[in-house]
Amino acid sequence: MKIQNLTLKDISKTVDISKHKLLINELKMFIKKSVEKAKVNGVVLGISGGIDSTFLAYLMKDVFQEKLELYSISINELNKTELISKQHAQLIERDLQHKVTYIDLTNTFNTFKNELNIDDEYVLSNLKARLRMTSLYAYAQKNKKIVIGTDNFNEWYLGYFTKYGDGGCDLLPIAKIKKSDIYIMAKILNIPEEIIIKKPSADLWENQSDEDELGFSYDDFEQYISDPTQLTSDVRTKIENQHNRNIHKLVPIPIGPELKEN
């Protein structure tokens, strides 16, 4: 059974969750100190209704209170996937008792799509992610805040994010934390169960799911990190190919040569 479907009591029988409780406090301190170092007024976070952004919202509410700005950005919100994500954002707003600002970029997206004359679904899905990033940065700059990224270790290692989209941020608090550990900490923070058990999705098109698109599960990936010999060669190859073709997202932008002085 997947870890997100287990109770915290069952998980604690095989996992020392005191380490996760300690990590929650370390994350709060890391983000707080990073904001102080940046000398800004607070943080901006995009809420997708998924587990990673939800976890960060609950985590940061205690630290920043009204200095935490939450945004739910819809594009083509009439499709089922976008609608569910918006409903989950509303659930977060109620449960957390913290304002979420709702933005609909459907008209903006359609203008881009028509002007660029592009109908490639993959290209357009990345355009959606970049429009969301642009909006978050506009609010962050306006209010002198920084943008918090939501990529976890699984996504970061695999390069499973849009360059200058959801990968565009000022801080990546959970990029060293596995998805399974995010689920455990989410349960510790009493995040609504329907968000925890939700199938991971970037909401890039209707019924899109991370694991279907990748061709392997996040459990497979974490098994690969701990002991790849337990996986089939086909799954290992898929994971390695995913990582290798996205290395350009994980390294600094290459800089050309300088003028040689005599």
Q: Tokens 């990345």 appear where?
A: 126
CA distance 216 to 238: 8
Query: Which tens digit of pLDDT belongs to each residue from 209-242?
Result: 788 889 999 999 999 999 999 999 999 999 999 9
Query: Which tens digit of pLDDT belongs to each residue from 130-183?
Result: 999 999 999 999 999 999 999 999 999 999 999 999 999 999 999 999 999 999
Burial class for 252, CB neighbours closer than 10 Å (0-12, 13-18, 19+): exposed
Class of domain 3-208: alpha beta
Mean pLDDT of the chain: 94
Q: Where are the domains of the chain?
A: 3-208
pLDDT, residue 208, reads: 67
Strands, E, within 12-99: which ranges?
A: 43-46, 68-74
CA distance 125 to 132: 11
Span 49-60, average pLDDT = 96
* Residue from 110, 112, 108, 88 nearest 100 by CA: 88
CA distance 208 to 225: 25
User: Reduced to 3 states, what is the DSSP secondary structure of residue 151?
Assistant: coil
Candidate ranges 31-40, 196-205, 208-217; pick with highest mean pLDDT: 31-40
Residues in the chain, how many? 262
pLDDT, residue 206, reads: 66
Report strand pairing: 68-74 vs 43-46. parallel
Tell me, yes or no, if the pTM score tops 0.85: yes
Phi-psi region of 105 (alpha: psi -120 to 50; beta: other; left: phi over 0): alpha
Span 116-131, average pLDDT = 94
